[in-house]
Amino acid sequence: MKKVVCDTYDDLSLFAADIFTRQLKSKADSVFGLATGSTPIGLYDELVRRYNAGEIDFSNARSFNLDEYYPIDPGHPQSYRSFMEKHLFSRVNFSSTRVLDGEASNPHAECAAYDAEVEAAGGIDLQLLGLGVNGHIAFIEPDTSYPLASYLVELAGDTLKANSRFFTEDEKQPTSALSAGLSTIFSSKHIMMLVTGANKAEVIKKMFEGVVYTDIPASLLHLHPNVTVVVDKAANGE
């Protein structure tokens, strides 16, 4: 697991956009694994800028998102489908986008269908990840064991608290989610995690102690051969 330290959040976003650009240039029909949260917004804005400047083109590329609240109407302003439409999908030209369906009547069948679609696409070429304050990746919350397949997960208290900032008092915050499982994430050829801000410094420090902590899902990434963790100085504890 490699760590790249960028001076600022803007530098981190540009660095990540360069990795995306290189991926697209080397394989126009790349399969991207995408993430939500506030961290990738700078990256998405930069990708849109490059797309508008004619520097990159997603017309042959496909995307799969890591997770979605459950239950939630995909049209709800805080759904991850809405987030992706707003920040990226409506602004560039992906050939297809897939977000787990927060309204699926059978969440387990929906997860199985999602895993099968990722596999049929040949797996993810470049998987983008954020990091939860409690060390979660996607919505894989700290636990004593982890399902390999995508699954319906009950959100941890820390996560509910961290994400409550996005919901108004009238909007009911879902307490569960559908999340990609470890086998989908680990079958990605390259994983790039973006981490910004001092509130993530503690978990970043633990991730780089040379230990796999079973209660820090992100530390399991040590077991993947091609992971780049891009942090800004604040997240690096500087």
Span near ligand GLP by CB under 6 A; candidates 57-65, 114-122, 125-133, 225-233: 125-133
- DSSP 3-state assignment of 127? strand
Q: Give the full edge-to-edge strand order of the sheet including 151-154.
A: 67-70, 176-179, 151-154
Q: Please give the residues from 160 up to 179 whose contact with ligand GLP meets the rule CB under 6 A.
A: 163
Q: Does 131 bind ligand GLP (CB under 6 A)?
A: yes
At 80, is the secondary structure helix, strand, or coil?
A: helix
Work out whether 139 is an interface residue with ligand GLP (CB under 6 A): yes
Smallest distance, Å, CB 106 to ligand GLP?
Answer: 22
- Residue 82 as a binder of ligand GLP (CB under 6 A): the answer is no
User: Treating both helix axes as pointing N-terminal to C-terminal, what angle do 41-52 and 9-26 enclose, rounded to 10 degrees?
Assistant: 50
The pair of three-digit structure tokens given for residue 36, joined into one six-digit string = 């939500």
DSSP codes, 28-52: TT-EEEE--SSTTHHHHHHHHHHHH
101 among known catalytic residues: no
For ligand GLP, the binding residue among 24, 31, 34, 35 (CB under 6 A) is: 35
- Helices first, then strands: H and E counts in the chain: 7, 10
Comparing CB distances to ligand GLP, the nearer of 126 and 131 is 131
Beta bridge partners of 2: 228
Query: Using the rule CB under 6 A, is 219 a contact of ligand GLP?
Result: no
Eight-state DSSP code of residue 237: T
Residues 67, 101, 115, 141: which binds ligand GLP (CB under 6 A)? Answer: 67
In the complex, the residues that contact ligand GLP under the rule CB under 6 A are: 35-39, 66-67, 130-132, 138-139, 159, 163
Please identify every residue annotated as catalytic: 67, 134, 136, 141
